[in-house]
Structure 1
Amino acid sequence: MLEQAADALDRQDYHTAAKLIAMLSAERPDDPQVQLYAAKLQEATDRLDEALPGYRLAIQQAVNPKIIAEARKGIERIEQIQAQNQANELAIAQAGIEDRIEPGFLVLEPMSADHKQATFKQFATIMNLDPYSARLQLPSRGWRLYRVGQMGQLNFLRDRLLKAEIPCFCVSQQDTQQVFVFQVNHLKSFHPQATIVCTDDRSELRTFNFDWSEVTQIVTGMLPIFEEVMEIDGRNRTHRKSKILDYVNICDIQLRDRRTIFRLCAQTYDFCDYKQLITQNRHSLTSEPSARTSADLGGLLNGQRIPTTSRDNWKNLISQITEQISAHQTQSNFNPFAETAIGYPELLQRIDPHLELLRRADSLWDRAFHLYSTLAMCRDRDAARL
């Protein structure tokens, strides 16, 4: 029957070949010769996605050098066809989107381990990678800034990835720049509206009011503070080394419809407004204000002890903000994205971080956070349009 199946394949009688190979596969499912013929039939009938794993299975099972050689030739043929098809599709896509030459970003979204296992081979084919590299490049913890290029090409790749059920999105660089960013000095009130005091790009103080229902999401992150330190090695020699000495908390309040971001920073936020707040809330204190010392007034607000450290103050502030919005409106997985974005230093150098921290030198992490936050706003906007 093997000879009959081979003869039918040679004669391109695929109907007969399919019947014979189906019977052989039922009788001898582990026979590499049968697996080879099945893959050849799938290749001949344009089922390349099924033929490729069939050839690979034949190589794994076979000991006969002739079978292994034929299977490898089949894999090479399919890979060449797929590469040519992808090039043709790209050429057609580029011909139809000549106006989309502006720069942009392709971002891969995190996937579960099972999802990665099911899609990494398709990802390898789309991106022309070997399967091992493809598996490593699919993210599992957070966003991955995967490619920077022209929007026409990125949109083409995005569509192919989404078709393969690989979550991703594209955003043009222009869209990330069309956002107003204000550095927050302090929040004057939370109710009935939020009143926020901030500085604009010209370092001028401005005051804004907004309803919490306008907040579409908040984006949080921690920026490392690098410092040069002296270390002594085992031979008692000193060396200069850059180390992370601390982290600075950042929180962006995003109002998508206004295309506005209010950026709060733990290092620059004004936490010194307590006496004024206490004066406004004296009626909440249990005893007469005159009976309290300045130290008491400096430590109580609404009958509760005010946090005394910057970390506690920040935690309390963010808690008050997050109480105003739902949990799904928080984007807080910045670090995995930053680890990939740092690989594009020339890109990040052109980004204004809209942030002024007390440090010896600028950091690419500040710029990466701004990119992360604006991408999140654009991603949220596109999702709202669907």
Structure 2
Amino acid sequence: MTDLASPTQPSAPSGADTSDTSDTIDTLAGLQAGSPLAAIRHARDKVALHTQRSEDALFDPALPDLSLQERLFAAWYVARLSLANDLADAYVAKLIATGAQPTTLDAIEAGTLNSTIDARLIAILSHVKLLTIKPVEARPEHLQTLQQAGITTRGIVALSQLIAFVTYQLRVVAGLKALRAAQEAAGASTSQVNTSASPVDRLNGFTFDTLGWRAWLDTVSLAGATLEQIAVLEESHPHAKTSDYYLLLVQQAEILRQRSGVFNAIMYAPGGLPRAERELASTVVSRVNGCVYCASVHAQRFGQLAKRTDAIEQVFEDPSSAGTTERERAIIQYAIKLTGHPENVDAAAIKRLEANGLTQAEILDLTHAIAIFAWANRLMLTLGEPVFPQAE
């Protein structure tokens, strides 16, 4: 499940250096060490740390079940389908280093997946396309297709995490590039680090009800779990040991550890963007992506924090016109744009948020909250399904 209760905060491993600002997102966003925007980003040091460690875990050459080249093909294709060309180019360079042929890349881009391309890779890329463009259409038979191509449950979990991670990664980069453009347009004169700071049953299939979630693949049994898997479950969420979601994702324990670190640091860190507004943005993303489960969890959370549900009811009805204030409408519109068309997020989108009182540090918090649900929704939508309460 996605985080109905406040989780245990995972700490950085002993001896970890959280001050290093040299990472993939900094590089792709064009952040210079010591710049105002780099300072804002690294004020959320755990987000930056666990984001980079998620990437490291996902592309660990020793990761079993999927070759490094298969994972790089998947990551490149997510970025290319999302029009995140700088990120796609970065993955191409890594692909070529593994021996991938440019002709294979050309054939994939042209949509000519033929007998010259390995059938297993075709299955992987087809799954990438589904999860990137229309995850709400995922069904159990799509996972069965991967299994028939020889990919294990553990491999499917790794692939799903990787695809979802890259959708998160490219949205964080897009938001940071827009923030940098807005800073440059304003001469960076306003840059500051700011670290202080009655429900209906269902609308359009979305609900405030508490839902369950069941996996479409085999989960890890606690009796058979390794000590590392148990430790990661305990770090991730208070209810992880009874959740199909976590018991499936812990098939890849280190990837789950870092993913939980990112999620918890984004959604539960003190200061910055008010928690209720992070939950509002999360609900908007989930509504746009069609993730009924995530929308229900974070709609409830918004109601608990804001002591009202009117904005959420409007989101469930029609996100494009939702919001009870100009600030809420600006947040919602930014969430819709970054979710649907991250390639079009620009300085103008940042200026609208600033005009409604958001600092650049709050805008980065908002960007993170939106991006993490590109990740969360894709796991929920493509590895299992929501379970609705029994009607009385």
Instruction: Report TM bin, short chain.
Output: under 0.3
Q: Which has the higher strand share?
A: 1
TM superposition score normalised by structure 2: 0.24
Greater helix proportion: 2
Larger relative contact order (C-alpha < 8 A, sep ≥ 6)?
2
TM norm structure 1: 0.24
Q: Which has the larger radius of gyration?
A: 1
